[in-house]
Structure 1
Amino acid sequence: MTTMIEAEGLSKAFRIAKRRPGLLGGIRSIVDPEVRTVAAVQDLTLQVQQGEMIGLVGPNGAGKSTTIKMLTGILMPSAGRLRVAGLLPIRQRRELAGCIGVVFGQRTQLWWDLPLRDSLQLLRHLYRVPEQRHQQNLNHLRKMLDLDEFIDTPVRQLSLGQRMRGDLVAALLHEPALLYLDEPTIGLDVVAKARIREFLLSLNAERGTTVLITTHDMDDIETLCPRMLIVDHGRKLYDGTVDAIRERFGGQRILVAVLEPSEVATLAKLPRDEAGLPVLTDLPADVYVQKLEGPRLELRFGGAAPPAHELVAWLGARYRLRDVTFMEPEIEDVIRRIYEKNLLLAEDNIAV
């Protein structure tokens, strides 16, 4: 499998000048400023294989955008080694531009006063895409993103969702192997977000395009990215699957069991606790009754409880079940909990 991104010890620091207090009347000197160094990215090691979809997550100022800019060749790293698509981003920026596509949610590469069609035609010349290949790609992307209703409309008159679809086409017309998306669904409504996510999943499945997404929208991560990278203050805190981090740091889960109607009478005969909930005998460790409404029984269980399938078997041996589902903790709540309690730092960084 081809390695699309290979970073080792990648760091980026910025020098920021701050004026010193002057000698006369508090005038601040601009001749001899105080200079301090701020580390935006620190010792980042990362490997991304062809066809992966990865979410880059972190609070504002965590180093996400700086990382993207180094990966695209916009910024030169202060330290470390970096290859993208087998190329050195700074030294081989022109060659790299033909291998990558970039979409920034709050910026556009389309011409404001031109119809969308004309912007896409200009980009064909910038990327030197042959006419036939350009037309084939445009026809395919127009169909996937349903552009026909506004392709002749000036970009300034497009809605945010329409412009984002146009930007995606602009980034993909030259068939890049690697697509960077920086907040691709910011400000979009639910319908527009769903359309963008569906398109990205299809793109990855059909063309094997590698996708790296930075976002604050955890629904993007859950829908699109099996793998997640968490950064904070420029450091990598976690690199692994979404499911693994939810299981480890998600707190307690909920088992929702719908019992056969005949079992409701059986539950009604059980003694109740102070909250009015039925007291089930010999409950496994770290398992608690959370709610009972008619035939619907909810059990809350944590990390010390038996595996989910054993808990279902335990319940099924005592009551006749019509349906069983599990309610997973929201990944947004998991990430918030990690930051609030510094859980990953306390765990000595569990990156894999």
Structure 2
Amino acid sequence: MDACIEVEGLEKVFRVRRRTGRRLRRETSEVRAVDGITFSVPRGQVVGYIGPNGAGKSTTIKMLTGILTPGGGRLRVAGLDPARERTRLARRIGVVFGQRTTLWWDLPLRDSYALVRRMYRVPADRFRVNLDRCVELLGLADLLDVPVRQLSLGQRMRGDIAAALLHDPEVLYLDEPTIGLDVVSKARVRGFLRDLNAERGTTVLLTTHDLTDIEQLCERVMVIDHGRMMYDGALGGLHEVGESERTLVVDLERELPPISGVPGARTVRTEGPRQWLAFPASASAAPVVAAVAAHYPLVDLSVREPDIESVIAAMYAGRA
């Protein structure tokens, strides 16, 4: 597939000056925010770009948008060099930073959108179609005449997402797009982004701490820490890298000693007649169920899938 984003050996080093000692001397140190990252994103793919605070996610996105100049390496977005062709690139990308609005603080949403249209020179008919669609799907009809400063964080986030899409960008960068949203609004935004990708083939790079966003939207995930790529692949592959486990919850007829002798499984918890057995996420549950059923009086059982948050937390901690 044609690559929309190409990154090769990307680097960014910041020099930080700190005061030390009683004489308040200043020492200069280097912080490698991004350290030799390489990846490629095909057109139309939705990719999760995740990592702990300070991992280098925002720095990467700022280089991809042309806000920062790389210290080394090569990158292309929609065939353009972001640092050298920033103005041309701006017309082909959309950006939403969770804590920084692109809307005009004292203007109502309607006027902010009119200014966005003029900035990006969006044809009037196309602007009306895009605006009507965003207003309907993001639930903005009652907010169009409200000044941005009077909006809640969740309302403003929906307004920012709409503003980023009015000029039909090829690439959309989202930094915490569901922050401050309630459950219903989160579901609405996720559905909107899925439809956007399916109908228009928009390439999406999503940075978030809400891993439900990743599970419901992304076919691929990249995990970054200390400026380096820790994982790049399918979401399901995280469980293999993180050595995650599934859990078999067993309800017995009566309280018994911990279940033992089940190949590939171990008992991790007991509570009266209920016991929890862990086994590798990559393994089938059938042999484990069969072994338990053959030797123990069962009442009920269920299989729980591994929690992606615990898998990624283990990767952050260096246990993977």
TM-score normalized by the length of structure 1: 0.81
Aligned residues: 320
User: Radius of gyration: which is bigger?
Assistant: 1
Structure 2: segments with no counterpart, 5+ residues = none
Of 153, 158, 162, which residue of structure 2 is paired with 1:169? 162
1:135: Cα distance to partner?
0.9
Matched residue, 1:261: none
- Work out whether 1:196 is the aligned partner of 2:193: no
Q: What amino acid sits opposite 1:140 in the alignment?
A: R
Off by >6 Å, runs of 4+ in structure 1: 316-324
1:64: Cα distance to partner?
0.6
Matched residue, 2:2: 2
| Secondary structure in 1 matching 2:233 | strand
- Work out whether 1:72 is the aligned partner of 2:48: no
Mapped contact 1:284–1:306 kept (Cα < 8 A): no
Task: Tell me the distance in 1 between the aligned counterparts of 2:290 and 2:15.
Answer: 60
Task: Tell me the distance in 1 between the aligned counterparts of 2:120 and 2:299.
Answer: 58
* CA shift in 2, pair 1:197/1:250, >3 Å: farther
Identity %: 52
Of 119, 131, 134, which residue of structure 1 is paired with 2:112? 119
Task: Tell me the distance in 2 between the aligned counterparts of 1:324 and 1:7.
Answer: 47
Task: Tell me the distance in 2 between the aligned counterparts of 1:18 and 1:59.
Answer: 23
Q: 1:51-70 alignment to 2 at 5 Å?
A: 51-70=44-63
Matched residue, 2:95: 102
Structure 1: segments with no counterpart, 5+ residues = 259-263, 345-352
Task: Tell me the distance in 2 between the aligned counterparts of 1:128 and 1:231.
Answer: 36
Mapped contact 1:285–1:304 kept (Cα < 8 A): no
Report which stretch shifted further, 40-49 or 241-250: 241-250
Task: Tell me the distance in 1 between the aligned counterparts of 2:286 and 2:170.
Answer: 40
RMSD: 2.9
Mapped contact 2:249–2:276 kept (Cα < 8 A): yes
* CA shift in 2, pair 1:160/1:319, >3 Å: same
Matched residue, 1:232: 225
Q: 1:1-352 alignment to 2 at 5 Å?
A: 1-18=1-18, 34-256=27-249, 267-268=253-254, 272-273=256-257, 279=259, 283-288=262-267, 290=269, 299-303=276-280, 306-312=283-289, 325-340=302-317, 342-344=318-320
| Secondary structure in 1 matching 2:7 | strand
Residue by residue over 1:194-239, the C-alpha shift from the partner in whole angstroms, topping out at 9 and shown as x without a partner, is 2222221222222221111111222222222222111111111111
Mapped contact 2:174–2:204 kept (Cα < 8 A): yes
TM-score normalized by the length of structure 2: 0.89
